[in-house]
Amino acid sequence: MKKLSVLAFLLLTAFCACAADVAKPKIKVAADGFPAGHDTPEGAACDLIRAFIKRDAALFTNICIEPFGQGKQRTNYQQFIERSVQSMKEEAARKAPSPAGPKSITKVFAARTLTARGPVAFAYAAVDFRGLKFVDLKTLRQSGEPNDFRIMLIKKSDDKWYVYPTPQFAELLSQSLNSERPSTIDFSEAYEVEK
């Protein structure tokens, strides 16, 4: 019996040591201390907010997924992108930004998968998307008021993450998005942050 418990202890110790050695994925952050780019859902979500902060239509169109699907959903999304680009250009032409617009990102939570299983299966089967997540983040408006966002992200077959800023246009993809509990894990807890 003693030999068995010593063996069990050694196996448990080895298992714990291996689990501790599992490295977190690395993530680079921008000058503001938050993720950027298409490599992670958190980076794409932050770039969407940066596009509005900078009133940068090129960044906005780069980080948003191109129109997909067909019919009304595709048309509505295409029109949304066109209106947003036009609005950003008009906003950039003004000297002062809108008080309701974002001024800075204050907190980014780790990306999460929707609890409903249907959207991920639909995304893969119907449109060949490879991932579907959402990111909660906090910002400050130009007026100084806090503002929270929940941003939907899609991973395409190129293994890059893109923002889908209008999940209401694709109910099959966004089922349960607005009913998910608030995020609690900061992105820095899920990654090894590189500056």
Predicted local confidence at residue 85, as pLDDT: 96
Please, are residues 164 and 170 in contact by the beta-carbon 8 Å criterion?
yes
- Enter the pTM of the model: 0.86
Domain 28-194 falls under CATH 3.30.160.270: no
Residue range 110-163, pLDDT digits in tens: 999 999 888 878 888 878 899 999 999 999 999 999 999 999 999 999 999 999
Token look-up 């714990």 returns: 16
* Helix residue ranges per DSSP H, the chain: 2-21, 41-54, 57-63, 71-93, 118-127, 171-174, 187-190
Higher pLDDT pick, 190 / 170: 190
Which 3 state secondary structure label does DSSP give 44?
Answer: helix
Q: Residue 187: CB partners within 8 Å, gap ≥ 6?
A: 27, 34, 35, 42, 108, 109, 110, 111
- Compute φ and ψ for 164, nearest 5 degrees: -115, 95
Domain-wise residue ranges, the chain? 28-194
Between the alpha carbon of residue 105 and those of residues 35, 87, 91, 119, the distances in Å are 11, 21, 19, 28
